[in-house]
Amino acid sequence: MALLTLDHRHPTPLYAQIEQGLRGAIATGRLPAGTQLPTVRQLAVELSVNANTVARVYAELERAGVLETQRGVGTFVASTQPAATQRRGRDPELRALVQRFVDEAATRGFTLDDIARQLKSLAGKQGG
């Protein structure tokens, strides 16, 4: 299974898709703490993007405390995630994220009922 998949036709910039994909994989536990990521070059080849794009994402996530780079060894998911992941006071951010998702789903022909059904299904799989 590929680490990430990109939609080269989507209006979201590729670097943002990569960043969102990595953050999502870390948040859901698909990439647990300590997991070594592919090298910049390996991921760039896998995703068919410029290596500078991947390097930019890795650098940004390292600055945010999400990734850790060990020179000569590689890039890893940080053992502790930054405190910014705390939920308190982030409702406006979540609301905006959900609205973008609902808008995107609507452009693809999905209804709120479709979305709710899938969210319930996912919640059941994750235990709540």
- What was the pLDDT predicted at 89? 63
Residue 67 lies in a domain: yes
Highest mean pLDDT among 39-53, 79-93, 94-108: 39-53
Range from 30-34, 50-54, 97-101 carrying the lowest mean pLDDT: 97-101
Q: pTM score > 0.75 for this model?
A: no
pLDDT at 90: 66
105 and 57 both lie in a single domain: no
Structural domain boundaries, residue 74: 14-81
Residue 7 inside a domain? The answer is no
**For residue 25, which of 50, 43, 49 has the smallest C-alpha distance?**
43
Instruction: Work out how many domains the chain is built from and give that number.
Output: 2
Residue 1 has a pLDDT of 54
**What average pLDDT does the structure give for the chain?**
87
- Of 1-5, 86-90, 111-115, the poorest mean pLDDT is in 86-90
Instruction: Compare 55 and 100 and report the one with higher pLDDT.
Output: 55
Tokens for 23? 């953050």
With 0-12 CB in 10 A as exposed, 13-18 as middle and 19+ as buried, what is 67? Answer: buried
Q: Would you say residue 8 lies in a domain?
A: no
In the prediction, which pLDDT does 97 show? 80
What's residue 38's pLDDT?
96
Question: What is the pLDDT, as a whole number, of residue 124?
Answer: 80
The three-state secondary structure class of 75 is: strand
Residue 73 lies in a domain: yes
